[in-house]
Structure 1
Amino acid sequence: MKNFENKVVVITGGNSGIGYATAKEFKDAGAQVIITGKRADALDASAATLGVKGVLADQSKLTDIDKLVTEVGNTVGKVDVLFINAGVAFFMPIAHTSEEQFDTMMDVNFKGSFFTLQKFLAILNDGASVVFLASGNTALNMPNSSVYSASKSAMSHLAKIAAKELAPRKIRVNTVNPGPTETEMQGKFGMDDATLKSMRDMIIGQVPLAKMGTPNDVAKLVAYLSDNTTSSFITGAEFFIDGGMAL
């Protein structure tokens, strides 16, 4: 079904993983999709494969966000769906977390998300949908995830306040909290293959449904929350898509 025909969708971090799957979901539903990424080669390849527009932008840099908003406004005008998806993760004990790791996670996950929303407000249509990608970690107290979990929890609280502030414009703001999901990001945790496999097996053992999620699972939820025909009365909500891990 072409539920998003004539709609403009912007997805940050859309060149891989959940962002890529969500871009495909919206594209297949008829939307005009714009994705961002900070690796030019990966962004160009993904944009070409999907048949969407790619814009080089680093969510941690306010100047990049300004350029993104200007380019989107100049090329397609108003935006109907904003999926703030870009994120970064390092899993380290508090004792060994560096200032650089702390700043990177906070700058991308929280500061970048905050200012992406702020700067897009001028070109969001009234009645638009904003979805933040947070994390199932916001409901867990997992060792080695202190800064990551804090950055995503801050984002979740931001979304609730934004839902109230933007309600007069009928802009709905919701948060999706994935649990363990098979994405490219897992290869960026700085662990070797054996450690990653061990971590994966341990995590699956904590999931009641005994499996990992997929990017497509999350993409379909984001699309549902962005469709005014299916979710017009949903705002300020958090949706855990984690196989029951947070129970």
Structure 2
Amino acid sequence: MDLSKSKVLITGGSSGIGYETAKLLRSQGAQVVICGRNAQTIEKAAQELDVFGIQADVSKEDDVEKLFAFTLDKLSDLNVLINNAGIGFMGSLVETSVADFTRIWEINLKSAFLCGQAAAKYFISKNTGNILNISSMGALKGFANGSAYVSSKAAMSGLTMCWQAELRKHNIRVTQVNPSEVITDFAVKLGYESVNPENKLKAIEIAQAIVGVLAINDIGFIPEINVWATNP
């Protein structure tokens, strides 16, 4: 697609992968809306990036409805949804509470479902569109203490494949992006200290992969992309 004509909604756009993706797309002429749960953080990021920003908790139906109304009002159209909102969680099987498990699934998966559903309705009406689900290598391989997080990301793979099967006939491209470890505030909030961070992926590398997926001609699409550090 022509990135200079793209009109993009990025959830979880105030920091990390979402922020760098908005920055890179904006540098190529795209019009962008970002959202996040913290109003002050989103306002600050929107000003820095020269994009539109709105506070929204995309795990809530009313907020998603408000978000899409805002996006269409500001951009007058939409042709790309990037489902990037998500949080991490580490806890053993026996120590993870039902409340924590449910919270991770609602923020990581329910939000993608709600936004994907809203975008699909609009894209089907236009017979074109792009949905990118930002997941994790955890979608492909589990690890100790990852029950809540990994299962939410594995379920996103199921969503992505179903959407590909349903939406391809409407010229809607659906791609899942699975980064390996990325140095962002995501890990810091979990109290996790990376080993050899200089050799790990940064958010800009994932942003470059996302933009590359979007930039190819509309006749083709990439179903899934796994992004690894060369020598972590």
Instruction: Report if the CA contact (8 A) 2:52-2:74 is conserved.
Output: no
For the residue of structure 2 that corresponds to 1:95, the secondary structure is: coil
Instruction: Report if the CA contact (8 A) 1:3-1:29 is conserved.
Output: no
> Does 2:129 align with 1:128?
yes
Q: Deviations over 1:68-87 (max 9, x none)?
A: 11222233232111100000
Counterpart of 2:224 in structure 1 is 238
For the residue of structure 2 that corresponds to 1:9, the secondary structure is: strand
1:59 maps to a residue whose letter is V
1:102 maps to a residue whose letter is F
For the residue of structure 1 that corresponds to 2:9, the secondary structure is: strand
Instruction: Report if the CA contact (8 A) 1:130-1:226 is conserved.
Output: no
Q: Deviations over 1:141-198 (max 9, x none)?
A: 2101111011011111111110111111100001000111011111211x2xxxx33x
| Cα distance change on mapping 1:102 and 1:244 into 2, 3 Å | farther
Instruction: Report if the CA contact (8 A) 2:34-2:54 is conserved.
Output: yes
Instruction: Report if the CA contact (8 A) 2:130-2:172 is conserved.
Output: yes
Tell me how many residue pairs correspond in the alignment. 229
Counterpart of 1:56 in structure 2 is 55
2:40 maps to a residue whose letter is D
Deviation at 1:25, TM superposition (A): 0.8
Please provide the CA RMSD for this pair.
1.9
Deviation at 1:19, TM superposition (A): 0.2
Instruction: Report if the CA contact (8 A) 1:44-1:54 is conserved.
Output: yes
Instruction: Report if the CA contact (8 A) 2:20-2:203 is conserved.
Output: yes
Deviation at 1:62, TM superposition (A): 1.1
Residues in 2 aligned to 1:39 and 1:88: alpha-carbon distance in whole angstroms: 14
For the residue of structure 2 that corresponds to 1:94, the secondary structure is: coil
Counterpart of 2:199 in structure 1 is 211
Instruction: Report if the CA contact (8 A) 1:176-1:239 is conserved.
Output: yes
For the residue of structure 2 that corresponds to 1:34, the secondary structure is: strand
Deviation at 1:234, TM superposition (A): 2.0
Instruction: Report if the CA contact (8 A) 1:78-1:123 is conserved.
Output: no
Instruction: Report if the CA contact (8 A) 1:94-1:144 is conserved.
Output: yes
TM-score between both structures, scaled by the size of structure 2: 0.92
2:134 maps to a residue whose letter is L
Greater mean alpha carbon deviation, residues 214-223 or residues 123-132: 123-132
Counterpart of 2:151 in structure 1 is 150
Residues in 2 aligned to 1:234 and 1:119: alpha-carbon distance in whole angstroms: 21
Instruction: Report if the CA contact (8 A) 2:139-2:156 is conserved.
Output: no
1:238 maps to a residue whose letter is E
For the residue of structure 2 that corresponds to 1:96, the secondary structure is: coil
Instruction: Report if the CA contact (8 A) 2:21-2:207 is conserved.
Output: yes
Instruction: Report if the CA contact (8 A) 2:88-2:187 is conserved.
Output: no
Q: How does 1:1-247 map to 2 (within 5 A)?
A: 3-124=2-123, 125-189=126-190, 191=191, 196-197=192-193, 200-201=194-195, 211-229=199-217, 232-235=219-222, 237-243=223-229
Greater mean alpha carbon deviation, residues 87-96 or residues 69-78: 69-78
Instruction: Report if the CA contact (8 A) 1:3-1:30 is conserved.
Output: no
2:149 maps to a residue whose letter is Y
| Cα distance change on mapping 1:212 and 1:63 into 2, 3 Å | same
Deviation at 1:13, TM superposition (A): 0.4
1:223 maps to a residue whose letter is V
Residues in 1 aligned to 2:185 and 2:81: alpha-carbon distance in whole angstroms: 22
1:99 maps to a residue whose letter is V
Instruction: Report if the CA contact (8 A) 1:179-1:242 is conserved.
Output: yes
Instruction: Report if the CA contact (8 A) 2:59-2:114 is conserved.
Output: no
